[in-house]
Amino acid sequence: MIGLARNLDINTVGHGVEVESTIHQLRDTQCRLAQGYFYSKPFELSGFETLARAVAKYRSITSQIALILTIIFLLISLLY
């Protein structure tokens, strides 16, 4: 199913991921999205805001690091 969805350019989500071995199985089939207890147990909607803020902060920091590394590599390439 995952291969068929990939060939049709449809995103798939692996559901019910509870152990790390399942993540490896999904990665082996090139399934890039997953959800389940391994990542987070169900929580009240009020907890979603906290999670969303943490993800946004992480992405912001990751984007800043990527930008800095790009600038460094560009400067290095200009020097040589």
Domain range list for the chain: 1-42, 43-80
13 backbone dihedrals φ, ψ, rounded to 5°: -125, 125
Work out the mean pLDDT of the chain and round it to a whole number: 83
Distance CA 28, CA 34 (A): 13
The pTM of the full predicted model, rounded to 2 decimals, is 0.51
Contacts of 33 (CB under 8 A, 6+ apart): 11, 12, 13, 14
At residue 60 the predicted structure's pLDDT band, cuts being 50, 70 and 90, is: confident
Q: State the pLDDT confidence band at 67, using cuts at 50, 70 and 90.
A: confident
DSSP string, 25-66: HHHHTT--EE-STTT-----THHHHHHHHHHHHHHHHHHHHH
Query: What confidence tier does 4 reach under pLDDT thresholds 50, 70, 90?
Result: confident
pLDDT tops 80 at residue 75:
no
The arithmetic mean of pLDDT across residues 13-32, rounded, is 90
